[in-house]
Structure 1
Amino acid sequence: MTTPFRLFSLPFVPLKQVLDNIGPQGIIILSLCSRRSKSIAVTYRGPSKDVRLTLDFGLWDCVEDSNHSCMNILLSVEETGNLPMDETLETVRIGNFLKVPVKMEKHIVKGVNLITYWKDRITGLAAIGDCAREIFNKNISEVCIYDKQEKNWLRRAAAWVRNSQETFQILRCNFVPKNHKDLDFILENSNCTEKLFLCVRPCEHYSPAKLPNFRIDSLHVYYSYWIKQNHLLTMDCKYIWLQDSKLSSQDLNVFLKHWMAGGCSKLEQFRAFVEEPTDYEIVFDGVQFTERENDVARGYVNEESKHYTLRGGFDIKRISDNITATILNNGENSRFFLLIVWPDFAGNPY
């Protein structure tokens, strides 16, 4: 019996050695060939399954291995309306879906990846997400939701995020909501545990229907003008980054007192780019602090292991454990508020 794959006919080549060298994309393609090959892919354990799964709704419409700096797409989704008219495609089974058309394609950004074609894009993305979880024996770590001009796109993507697995590590949202209920749905159903990135621009007077659950490690809100004092006081994060904020100096004063009394106890860094210049007299009204002159320089290492020199600032202490935080003095016209909690991310005391 002859075979075009002579390597696989060599009896002395162990199957595991082959699987160790075909990589994550090879593993997932192998799983689509037959039920037996899928069983081999699922039960295999080795370096080709060393992946960090990310599911992308709306930008690249794909499931990828985000373990590496470059994009490594495992499967992507296109609508059947984009099927090539001049060729007959192979079909595969993905989950409960039979005869899904597929095509290998080389893309200038995506690289070489297997495209799957579906009548409904969300259905396809949900299917390849479930497929990747089954083949690699692990949950999806990160979900990205971007804009798409399709009816109920955002709500359906967010519903899949809520229903598919108990938690995700990271959720990234970058879209213009069609109405305030889109962002409400995201905030009320977010089940991420580590990082939430919201690059979502709601209407100017938007206010969440319910208080958001901001109990995560890292929160980045790029259009945060809708975040009020009551939202700020519900946060329990290690890292808070607010851009386009309308928080006042009085709001910041209330937050400092909240932290000193034990609120937001996990906090390690708080950044806010505010609309009005910070009035430090208001910020520190009723707050006990020690002012450091600018000739006092302290080394600081952030969460990305970057080293900075901080000069001066105002030191405050949390009552319960004497943990110190420093608020930088950026001048009377500054619209940037920065609070850091010691020790820093490298363990350096103040």
Structure 2
Amino acid sequence: MLCAKSITDLKSENPQFVNIGSHRVPAVIEQGCLITYWEDRVQGMKAITDYTCSLFSIHVSCVTIFKNSLWMLEWVSQRQSEPLKNVNWWSAYKVFEDSWDDEAYSSAMRQCPPTESLYIISQPSANYRLNEEIPKVNEINIGRGRWVTVDNLMSIDSIEITIGDSQLSTADIIKFVKHWLAGGIPRMEYIRIDSKNLNELEFLTEELEPYVVPNEEIRKYQKNPVGIEFEFVGGYSIQREDGVEATINFQHHSFHMAKWNDQIGF
């Protein structure tokens, strides 16, 4: 493993020197990791990336960003045509770097390219409102989703959706299900929303009653052998006018919904 740090972090008085592309920089080995030290850490990260990709003839497939490394999204998108497989947003370990300001959060959303999976663990302020489009992905997991409104939710273009620590209410879920019944979010196959504001007893309204039928079936959703897996025990069957079927289940302050087809339902 290769790592780039600022030269000010170098403690060794007799470091080794290594060649990274056209650069010769001090380095130490710690716990199996080659740590290189640079006057400009951003330049070091770029040099290490270019060197590794060239050495092994590979592309960058995964990017993990913090508040102070948003430049990576645009830089990686410009350096290669191959799309990213994973993008992760994290909060740093140091307390003073831990909180993302709202502009940084929105900037990351604007710059994030289409990717197979997007994991967002970082959290904006309590009053944050998203005005940008959420990138098209195959899987999105928003671990701290208190900012996600039902309109944000209905705009997500993803196969699998997980929203944790949500503020969404049962009324929001009803609006979301009605949106799905009308043909919205056509690529979605599975969604999970965790919220303490959900009440299953409020779900069956007159508007949904013609489409929703309680069932006692046991069905398992699994996208692929290593993907999301959830077992539906009972719940509600729901069917759109085009014949597409899904199952809805409420469990432990969470809402689950899976669309069944030949690939995922059994």
TM-score range, shorter chain: 0.7 to 0.9
Distance 1:200 1:345, change over 3 A: farther
Compute the displacement of 1:143 (Å): 0.8
Deviation at 1:180, TM superposition (A): 0.7
Asked if 2 retains the 8 angstrom alpha-carbon contact of 1:83 and 1:117, the reply is: yes
- The match for 1:261 among 165, 173, 182 is 182
Give, as a single letter, the amino acid of the residue that structure 2 aligns with 1:169: K
The amino acid across from 1:252 in the alignment is I
Alignment pair present for 1:165 and 2:80: yes
Maintained 8 Å contact 2:63/2:73: no
CA contact (8 A) 2:164 2:194 kept: yes
Q: What residue identity is the alignment partner of 2:218?
A: R
Equivalent residue letter for 1:327: I
Q: Is the 8 A contact 2:160 2:189 kept in 1?
A: yes
- The secondary structure found in structure 1 opposite 2:147 is coil
Q: Which residue pairs with 2:259 in the alignment?
A: 341
**In the alignment, which of 229, 232, 235 is matched to residue 310 of structure 1?**
232
CA deviation after TM superposition for structure 1 residue 138, in Å: 2.3
1:101 and 1:213 map into 2 onto residues whose CA distance is 41
The answer to whether structure 1 residue 82 and structure 2 residue 2 are counterparts is: no
Q: For residues 89 and 232 of structure 1, what CA distance do their matches in structure 2 show?
A: 51
Which residue number in structure 1 is paired with residue 199 of structure 2?
A: 278
How far apart are the structure 2 equivalents of 1:124 and 1:144? 16
Report how many aligned residue pairs link the two structures.
256
Report the alpha carbon displacement of residue 186 of structure 1 after superposing the two structures with TM. 0.7
Q: CA deviation at 1:303?
A: 3.2
Distance change (3 Å), C-alpha of 1:308 and 1:181: closer
Q: What's the CA shift string for 1:125-184, capped at 9, x where partnerless?
A: 12111222222222111111246xxxxx23334443444334311101112444211101
* 1:216 alignment counterpart: 137
For the aligned residue pairs, the C-alpha RMSD in angstroms reads 2.4
Equivalence for 2:95: none
Alpha-carbon distance change, 259 to 207 in structure 1, aligned in 2, over 3 angstroms: same
TM-superposed CA distance for 1:328, in Å, is 1.0
Match of 2:106 in 1: 184
Letter of the aligned partner of 1:101 in structure 2? P
Q: What's 1:101 paired with?
A: 26
Distance 1:267 1:177, change over 3 A: same
Residues 284 and 141 (structure 1), Cα distance of their counterparts in 2 relative to 1, 3 Å cut: farther
Shift of 1:343: 2.9
- Could you tell me which runs of 5 or more consecutive residues in structure 1 were left unpaired when the two chains were aligned: 1-72, 148-152
Aligned-partner Cα distance in 1 for 2:232–2:18: 60
Contact preservation (8 Å) 2:219, 2:265: no
Matching of residue 249 in structure 1 with residue 170 in structure 2 = yes
Structure 2 unaligned blocks of 5 or more:
92-97
Matched residue, 2:94: none
Distance 2:128 2:77 in 1: 23
Aligned position for 1:120:
40
1:329 to 1:76, Cα distance in 2 relative to 1, 3 A: closer
Q: Which amino acid aligns with 2:25?
A: V
Structure 1 or 2, whichever has the larger Rg, is 1
1:233 has 2:140 as partner: no
- Shift in CA distance, 177/344, structure 1 to aligned 2, threshold 3 Å: farther
Q: Cα offset for 1:337?
A: 0.7
Cα distance change, pair 161–212 in 1 and its aligned pair in 2 (3 A): farther
**Deviation at 1:223?**
1.1
Say whether the 8 Å CA contact 1:291–1:314 is kept in structure 2: yes
Once the two structures are superposed, the pairs formed by residues 188-207 of structure 1 within 5 Å of their partners are: 188-207=110-129
CA distance in 1: counterparts of 2:23 and 2:39, whole angstroms: 13
